[in-house]
Structures are given as structure tokens and as C-alpha cells.
């Protein structure tokens, strides 16, 4: 079939968005009808087997329940809104509308209404991301990975990404930061147990093990973002207090610690000063404990 391709004509992403919002009156169109409507928004019917998914698609998983619902709607009413395609080396590649394409395959359709457009790889990636963010909740980590791909592969800035997706620059920065969090936390974000707000709050905890422990705790307890902020703040303040207390130790006390450690052969830590405190003897195994006990018994005789 001869295909009339629609170029963007310098209009960029705005042209794509305008096309995707066209609601074509084509429900119940015969499956075998290969015709297309002439004009700026030329619609044609393309074989489902001739279409492959968007290689820039940010969504890695599709909710089967909502997909089944869409399939039922398509079976009853047909595909109301055309998908967006671009020409591939063989057949076509989706720009937007993968859920419609998958649902149409579920109900056994052979063709699907489509607009065929000339787009660059960057425009394809941008529009796939925009469609997912604006039309259905996208998995937080999938979205973050798509944003990072646009930064790394297309050289886009946080500011330009913010304009494209209609979010703030800080939103983009915070989303990208989630990918640098420990795998245990990334998994909780991916499955929706934790939100971006939780991730931002957890960022205040600099110790990785403490951060992971707190994340698991709030995931189990179902704490709100506000509660997580308070918990993370308290944990950070406690750690800072301990660090400041440790740093306040005088050089004299440090020298005494070293002298005692060398003398008795056991790690000695002094918590306090000449006016008061405690002397801690550290052991790391059963033998170490027995050694300390023997030392104290000898000292008491």
C-alpha cells in the first residue's frame, strides 16, 4: 500500500501532540478497508503484524487488568483514536499508542487506524514519554530511566525536560536521583510501595545502611511522606550528635586510648573526659571476651 507520510515541517513536538489529540470518527471501520482519508491528518489502516513497539518506549510493564479493560472497549466500539507510527526498515514502528496496539491484538483485530509521521529518534522518545506521563500513571522508575535516557542519549538538560513533561526542574532532578539510590530502595519505588516524596525524604539520611533500614521500615508500616521526613530528620540529627561527640574528644584522651590499647592488647575507647565518662573495652569474638574477663580478674586480685 502506498503510504502518505506526514512530516513535522519544523513544528517539532507540538505537531505530534496536536495529531495525537485528533479523535477520528472511525469506530467499526471494516477490517479489510485499506483506504485512507486525504488531508493533513491522513488516516490509514495498517496491519497489526506490520507494527513493532517503540524502541524508545519508557514503559517496561503494562497493567494487564487495565489492558483487558481497553481490549473489551475496543471489541465493543472499535479503535476510536488512531495510533501514531513512523516508517521502519520493514513495516512500521509505534510512536505512541502501544496500549491500543496490544489491546487490539488481544481481541484479534487485523488492522488498526494510524497516522504515519516523519519523526527523529529524539522526537519519538519524547513523545512516548509524554504520552505515558499524561495518559496513564507510569511506573516511577521506568519514568526516571526514560528521563535519564533523554539526558544521556539525546543530550537534553533538566530544564528542557521539565518544559517537555510539564514538570518543575526540581522534579526532574529528584526523579533522576532515585536511580542512584540503593537497589533495595529502587525496588520499593518500582513496585509503588514508596513514592518520590518518600525517596526525597530518605535522601536526608546519608548512611546507606541506615537509609535502607528506614526505607524498609516505612514500607512495612505504611508511613506518610511527612512522617518519613520526621523520621529521617531525627535519624540524621542523632548521627550528627554522635559524630560531634566523637569529634569533641581531646588529643589527650586519644593518646590515653592508644596507650591503653597498646598496653593491654585490647581496643580501648574512652567516652568522656577527666571529669567523668566511661572506658569501653572492645572484643570481636568469644576469645576476645574471655581475654577481657581474665584481664579484669587479674586486676581485681
**Domain boundaries in the chain?**
13-138, 139-180, 192-245, 249-300
CA 146 to chain centre: 9
For residues 192-215, give the mean pLDDT.
92
pLDDT bucket at 263, cuts 50 / 70 / 90: confident
Query: With 60 as the cut, is the pLDDT of residue 26 above it?
Result: no
Q: What does the angle CA 290 – CA 295 – CA 300 come to, to the nearest 5 degrees?
A: 125
Is the separation of the CB atoms in 114 and 46 below 8 Å?
A: yes
What is the full DSSP assignment across 224-237?
Answer: -HHHHHHHHHHHHH
Question: Could you name the CATH architecture of 13-138?
Answer: Alpha-Beta Complex (3.90)
Predicted local distance difference test score (pLDDT) of residue 240: 55
Question: How many CB atoms neighbour CB 158 within 10 A?
Answer: 16
Q: For cell 533523554, what's the residue? A: 150
Structure letter (DSSP) for residue 138:
P
Q: What is the mean pLDDT of the chain?
A: 76
The catalytic site residues sit at 98
CA distance 3 to 1: 6
CA distance 182 to 216: 12
Which residues, 6 or more positions from 91, have their beta carbon under 8 angstroms from its beta carbon? 50, 51, 52
CB-facing half-sphere around the CA of 158: CA atoms within 13 A: 11
For residues 226-247, give the mean pLDDT.
74
Predicted local distance difference test score (pLDDT) of residue 75: 85
Helix (H) or strand (E) segment spanning residue 279: strand 276-282
pLDDT bucket at 228, cuts 50 / 70 / 90: very high
Amino acid at each position: 500500500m502506498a503510504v502518505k507520510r506526514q512530516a513535522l515541517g519544523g513544528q517539532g513536538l507540538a505537531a505530534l501532540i496536536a495529531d495525537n489529540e485528533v479523535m477520528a470518527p472511525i469506530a467499526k471501520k471494516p477490517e479489510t478497508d485499506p483506504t485512507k482519508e486525504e488531508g493533513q491528518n491522513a488516516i490509514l489502516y495498517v496491519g497489526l503484524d506490520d507494527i513493532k513497539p517503540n524502541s524508545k518506549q519508557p514503559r517496561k510493564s503494562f497493567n494487564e487488568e487495565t489492558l483487558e479493560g481497553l481490549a473489551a472497549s475496543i471489541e465493543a466500539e472499535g479503535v476510536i483514536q488512531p495510533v501514531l507510527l513512523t516508517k521502519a526498515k520493514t513495516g512500521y514502528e509505534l510512536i505512541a499508542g502501544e496500549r491500543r496496539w496490544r489491546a487490539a491484538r488481544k481481541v484479534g483485530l487485523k488492522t488498526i487506524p494510524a497516522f504515519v509521521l516523519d519523526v527523529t529518534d529524539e522526537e519519538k522518545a519524547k513523545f512516548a514519554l509524554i504520552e505515558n506521563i499524561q495518559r496513564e500513571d507510569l511506573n516511577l522508575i521506568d519514568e526516571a530511566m526514560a528521563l535519564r535516557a533523554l539526558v544521556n542519549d539525546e543530550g537534553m538538560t533538566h530544564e528542557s525536560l521539565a518544559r517537555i513533561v510539564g514538570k518543575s526542574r526540581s522534579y526532574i532532578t529528584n526523579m533522576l536521583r532515585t536511580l542512584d539510590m540503593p537497589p533495595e530502595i529502587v525496588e520499593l519505588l518500582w513496585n509503588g510501595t514508596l513514592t518520590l516524596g518518600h525517596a526525597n525524604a530518605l535522601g536526608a539520611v546519608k548512611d546507606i545502611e541506615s537509609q535502607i533500614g528506614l526505607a524498609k521500615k516505612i514500607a512495612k508500616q505504611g508511613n506518610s511522606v511527612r512522617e518519613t521526613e520526621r523520621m529521617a530528620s531525627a535519624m540524621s540529627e542523632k548521627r550528627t550528635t554522635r559524630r560531634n561527640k566523637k569529634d569533641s574528644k581531646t588529643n589527650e584522651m586519644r593518646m590515653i586510648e592508644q596507650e591503653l590499647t597498646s598496653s593491654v592488647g585490647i581496643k580501648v575507647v574512652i567516652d568522656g573526659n577527666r571529669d567523668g565518662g566511661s572506658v569501653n573495652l572492645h572484643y570481636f569474638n568469644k576469645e576476645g571476651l574471655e581475654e577481657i574477663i581474665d584481664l579484669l580478674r587479674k586486676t581485681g586480685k
